[in-house]
Amino acid sequence: MSNIRLRKGHYRPLSDIDCANRPLGQILLDAGRISAPTLARCLDAQTRSGVRLGEVLIASGAVSAATLTEALARQKSLPYRLQRGTHPAFTDDDPWFWIKAGIVPWGKIDTIWQVAAKDDETYRQYADEIHRRLGRHQFIWSTQQVIERHLETLFRAQLIPYAETGRIQRESCVSLRFDLIKGLLIGIFLCVALGFILAPVVMYATLLTLGAIVLALSTLHKLYLFLRIPATDRRARPLGHPEILPKITVLVPLFKEKDIAAELVKRLEKLTYSRAHLDVILILEQADTQTSDMLRRQKLPHWMRILRVPKGQVQTKPRAMNYALPFCHGDIIGIYDAEDAPDPDQLNQVAAQFAAAAPDVACLQGSLDFYNSHSNWLARCFTIEYNTWFKAVLPALAMNNQIVPLGGTTLFFRRTILEDLGAWDAFNVTEDCDLGVRLSRRGYRCEILRSTTSEEANNLARPWIKQRSRWIKGYYITYFTHMRDIKQLVQDLGWTRFWHFQMLFLPTLILLPIAPVFWAMWGVFFGLFSNVTLGLSHTQIIALSGVFIVSFSVDTLGQVLGVLRSGHTRLLPWIITTYFYFPMATFASYKALFELCTAPFYWDKTMHGRAMVKPPLNPALDASQRQ
């Protein structure tokens, strides 16, 4: 080690040190940028992780990216740039080469291009292709952050349309004939209205029969799923850690989240995954100055960065993620929402489960739970519904290789498969559900991650209805998108999964709007009017009552299974009250149908950070908290 000893906080300029061909750690040590114990720890971490020393130094916060870049450039006696200058008049029909390589045409000196990369190894890997594209050129060193900002500025005009339509334009909902859908929905509404005017009994009987058939089929489908949930999780055995940790990029789309942005950063810092293998991108809309100002006051760790998305045709979460995807460093792409509080070791489990999974497992869906589950009655019912979905329905679908309508958060993809699919549909307001169908159509599978993320339940009626209306509208859009070519859909899915597809979507799309037809039956049960008034015989009343009782029993079975598997045992007595909770979705469905006709791509923003119970900084929920 060097004999040079500097007082803490006193640095020597790197220009005063002989850096040529000397070890990087020695250079930084002589300059007083790191201490001997810090260097020893980073060298040990390098040996264990298999990544470069420079990446370990930055990830641990030992040195800045600018300091590392200058040291490496002086070590190799090469020029470097630490500030982004004015970009040259450069165009290329294939910006993806430069973005994927992490190399940017910096500027021109006479006839020679300067090309910036984060290290000489990256440059050498692509040197021949750069020469083919640019001719004579010179390598210069720069930081990865400066290079990516330069690339984003240089190719923004090409990135925006890619984020909106990408490679799935023909599969996207943007190509749906919404004028025909609008005409169909208006036609159905007029026929029903006219039917109730001219022949109310016949119209009521028709809707009741349709609803009873769909309800019966949906009940059989749910019972099939609930009975096929194994008593023990076949993944319950401990998963070993992979020998080489994969790089994981986590995308966190934010919009008007100033109330929760600071807490989000603290919760993400609780993740225990190796910092040298972690890359977090906070995605902001260009116009969202409130969240931007809040984050500017935060000291973000070196593995966390901000990317701003320019204005475009739509302003949606999937469009923002599409824009960010080319700038991801990871082999695994994850998604968190602003209010999420993931288990601290969640990414370690993601890496382990992907390492043990078959190649056709494209994604892992984590379980979602609420940290404000007991704030009021609405939050309790919402928690019961979530537990049923994430602890009973989705595991049954995944374990039986069926379509899994993905959730929008705590979702992790193999990057190569995600890019091969064309990423997300920027115009679909339930892009997660749509992507789950597209994965299944391509023959890929989803597994359930054995880890939980806590988030905030909408516990006020108006925000709940706004959020649910977006989900229902997205279900309509996703269903119409994939059903426009039924023959191809059957060919892709096969008849079994095609049947599951129908049962996942049709009950929501049909039963919610016509639910008041079922509500009228209560008038008969309570003697407010006779069954003859509704045009129903005594036998029909008995048959319908049987369907309702069986349906309610199966729903209760699923809710009990979900609540028990989640550990929220104190919610068991509240299950009976969910009968009064689900009618709210009917009002949300009317809003969804109206928007489907007037504003199909409008994203009704869910506000976060206003829960009656604030999220825990330690997101791990123990048994007592979950109860």
Other residues' Cβ atoms within 10 Å of the Cβ of residue 319: 28
How far apart are alpha carbons 56 and 64 in whole angstroms? 11
In the chain, CATH 3.30.300 sits at 82-154
How far apart are alpha carbons 444 and 358 in whole angstroms? 10
The confidence score (pLDDT) of residue 616 equals 56
For residue 36, give every residue at least 6 positions away whose Cβ sits within 8 Å of its Cβ, in sequence order, or none: 1, 29
Name beta bridge partners: 137.
113
Burial 416-449 (b: 16+ CB within 10 A, else e): ebbbebbbbbbbbbbbbbbbbbbbbbeebbbbbb
Residue-wise pLDDT for 200-248, tens only, equals 989 999 999 999 999 999 999 999 999 988 665 544 555 666 777 899 9
Token duo for residue 93: 């029909």
The confidence score (pLDDT) of residue 620 equals 47
CA distance between the termini of the chain: 56
CB of 319 closer than 8 Å to CB of 163: yes
How far apart are alpha carbons 267 and 275 in whole angstroms? 15
Kindly report the CATH number that applies to the domain delimited by 82-154.
3.30.300
Query: Dihedral of CA 171/172/178/184: which sign?
Result: positive
Token duo for residue 472: 């229902």
Give Rg (Cα) of the chain: 28
| Max Cα–Cα distance, the chain, nearest Å | 101
Tell me the three state secondary structure of residue 247. Answer: coil
Residue-wise pLDDT for 531-589, tens only, equals 777 778 888 888 888 999 999 999 999 999 999 999 899 999 999 999 999 999 999 99
Looking at this protein, which amino acid is placed at residue 73?
Answer: A
Q: Is the pTM of this model over 0.85?
A: yes
The confidence score (pLDDT) of residue 294 equals 87
Helices 431-441 and 486-506 pack at an angle, to 10 degrees, of 130
Residue-wise pLDDT for 61-107, tens only, equals 777 777 877 777 777 777 777 776 555 667 777 888 899 889 988 88
Count Cα atoms within 13 angstroms, Cβ side, for 539.
0
What average pLDDT score do residues 475-503 get? 95
How far apart are alpha carbons 101 and 84 in whole angstroms? 18
Backbone φ/ψ region at 148: left (φ over 0), alpha (ψ -120 to 50), beta = alpha
Q: Tell me 100's DSSP state.
A: H
CB of 444 closer than 8 Å to CB of 365: no
Looking at this protein, which amino acid is placed at residue 602?
Answer: Y
Count Cα atoms within 13 angstroms, Cβ side, for 31.
24
